[in-house]
Chains A and B, each alone.
Chain A
Amino acid sequence: MTQSHTLSRPLSLSRRGLLASGAGAGTAALLPAAALAQALKPATLLNVSYDPTRELYKEVNAAFAAYWKGRTGQVLTLQQSHGGSGKQARSVIDGLQADVVTLALAADIDEIAARAKLLPANWQSRLPNNSTPYTSTIVFLVRKGNPWKIRDWPDLIKPGIGVITPNPKTSGGARWAYLAAYQAAAKTGGDAAAQAYLTKLFKNVPVLDTGARGSTTTFAQRKIGDVLLSWENEAFLTIDEFGPNFDIVYPSSSILAEPPVALVDKNVDRHGTRTVATGYLNFLYSPRAQEIIARHHFRPRDPAAAAKYASAFKQIPLVTIDGAFGGWKQAQATHFADGGVFDRIYKP
């Protein structure tokens, strides 16, 4: 973040303040080692991310800044912006100067590649594990003691059950939740049964927030609804934050959620931050970051961290987006595009 920089600068109406672009440039002149300024020029990196990663990246950013300074001597200012994954992608398309995007699903980064051409279409093959340094899944968060005995997907469509989930149009987590519900219903009755199931499910949804965090707030703070379809990490975080007022319920099956990360090529080249941005994304795969990732209840890719935290993550059958839905491009077009399945089944 920009603490040190913004703290030391008094309020001014200078052109630099007006343009607000000199975040890194302002401090450069203050460095005593002017001779080294070329090599050590402070850099600013903007990570545009989705909703439930606020706490994760706060810690990852601090760790990376320390690691990078130790390795190269370069001082980094790491900035973060969070919101519904689809909304964040839209902002990057409209010109939000993200050096890296760390979004909830590949389709949103595909949109950035397709509409704004800021990164190549094959972006997902550039980093290991489909460019996803960790995975997660969708679970149920219910109120303490599970008063409505919500144990599996069929329980969600019982009359009178209030289901909280964000809007699949704007939220990545909501799209994973929708697909998790879809695959569970399709297993027994195919597409027709799945669509009938989802129609009933969304009849039980009293409010659609734009992002996962909004839904969690609706469920936990405003106390609306009986069950929250939640990212696994967000469910654990809610219990960390609000104490033992909730129980996590693992359904009989769910989906392997792969939230990907990518370098935004055109932006890093414009900012001259390709090296540090690449270093940042690689750092996410390092044992150090994987440990932080696991502590924030995301499922790490690194075998050592995965083994260490194995007991924290319940193993349930997880379908993949490629296996069950033919990949994100197809799932997006079939289910979430204008006039897709979601538009047909959701009648508020």
Chain B
Amino acid sequence: MTAAAIPTRRRRDLNLAPLMILASAAVMAGLILMPLVVVFHDALAKGVGAYFAALKEPDALAAVRLTLLVAAISVPLNAVFGVSAAWAISKFEFRGKSVLLTLIDMPFSISPVVSGLVWVLLFGAQGLFGTWLIDHDVKIIFATPGLVLATILVTFPFVARELIPLMQQQGADEEAAALTLGASGLTTFWRVTLPNIKWALLYGVLLCNARAMGEFGAVSVVSGHIRGLTNTLPLHVEVLYNDYDSVGAFSAASVLAGLGILTLVLKSVLEWRHSGELSANRKH
């Protein structure tokens, strides 16, 4: 593509292209492929039997279950939120729209440790609502609700950010037409808007899910690290590594890596099959 775009360049420059491809391939191999290979190599260091034994360990299963539970709660909530926010921002004009946009982006720019700590400051025993929560025996921090809250905050922007450019590009013409023909607001949403954004939505949900399952920093702050109870998969990896159980640690890490690869494959399939219906800025 670069060659066609700049035909006046001298040939010497063009000869650099293979070199640069080679260089980026080397960087990719070194920075992405090699660590990935190491994960699986170390996980299988003591054989396939030890690998599966490590995965069937009760604390590992509990961590997998907790990770899935946290993702199962936070991803749908963020999908609903993301669709509503994108719908509001792209189809309507209202005051404070830019403020809302900035707020949606905030989790991208703040450190995960802050995303975790804010919940401790709000719901921790010494926090704003701490005394009330203790008196009413409600557990948020160091329990599943805290993990869900931290995950939701961190994965907040993924769906909305995926939908907004696409929906802005699509405009409100089709919705306006549907409304003129007598469709209700809800019908318009289900029959017109949603079909237009379904692939972008799925794409956003995928990214959101990948981050929700992989998040370490924010959940580490609110977890309390109780084994078999409040350790998600990424936290469990750290625990096992520090227990000198490197087969266990890398086996759990390989599950996370596997989920990541699966996400990547699904994402590529989506891009390949439905690139036209994904947002414009996604077509590289």
Contacts and interface: CB of A to CB of B under 8 A. Distances in A.
A1 interface: yes
A6 B68 CA distance: 14
Contact of B125 (A3, A18, A93): A93
A217 interface: yes
- Counting chain B CB atoms within 10 Å of each CB, the highest count among A7, A17, A95, A217 belongs to A95
A6 B227 CA distance: 12
Contact of B227 (A79, A91, A213): A79
Contact of A19 (B72, B134, B139): B139
Contacts of A1: 58-59, 227-228
Contact of B62 (A2, A91, A115): A2
Contact of B224 (A11, A51, A96, A214): A96
B78 interface: no
Interface stretch (A80-88, A156-164, A299-307): A80-88
A21 interface: yes
A81 B126 contact: no
Contact of A20 (B58, B143, B244): B143
Given A20-B143, A217-B242, A94 B126 contact: yes
A219 B144 CA distance: 34
A214 B242 contact: yes
Contacts of B55: none
B155 to A, nearest CB: 18
Nearest to B117: A94
Given A11-B68, A79-B226, A80-B227, A96 B142 contact: yes
User: Looking at B125, B138, B141, B243, which has the most chain A CB atoms within 10 Å of its CB?
Assistant: B125
Interface in A1-30: 1-3, 6-7, 11, 13, 17-21, 23
Sorting the interface of chain B by its residue count into under 10, 10 to 19, 20 to 34 or 35 or more gives 35 or more
A241 B143 contact: no
B230 A20 contact: yes
Report which residue of A17, A46, A97 has the largest number of chain B beta carbons within 10 angstroms of its beta carbon: A97
B120 interface: yes
Contact of A91 (B137, B142, B243): B142
Contacts of B124: 94-95
Contact of B120 (A2, A3, A55, A94): A94
Given A21-B143, A94-B141, A11 B69 contact: yes
A21 to B, nearest CB: 5
B139 A21 contact: yes
Contacts of A23: 229
A254 B124 CA distance: 38
Contacts of A94: 120, 124-127, 141-142
Among the interface residues A6, A82, A116, which one has the most CB atoms of the partner chain B within 10 A?
A: A6
A314 interface: no
B267 interface: no
Contact of B144 (A3, A18, A81, A116): A18
Given A83-B225, A94-B120, A241 B125 contact: no
Nearest to A2: B228
Interface of A: 1-3, 6-7, 11, 13, 17-21, 23, 46, 51, 54-55, 79-83, 91, 93-97, 115-116, 213-214, 217, 221, 241-242, 270
20 contacts: A1-B59, A3-B62, A13-B73, A19-B144, A20-B139, A20-B143, A20-B229, A21-B139, A51-B242, A80-B227, A81-B226, A81-B227, A83-B225, A93-B125, A93-B126, A95-B123, A95-B133, A95-B141, A96-B141, A217-B242
Given A79-B228, A96-B142, A217-B242, 17 more contacts: A1-B228, A11-B69, A13-B69, A19-B145, A20-B229, A46-B226, A81-B226, A81-B227, A94-B125, A94-B126, A94-B127, A95-B123, A96-B224, A115-B126, A116-B125, A217-B241, A270-B134
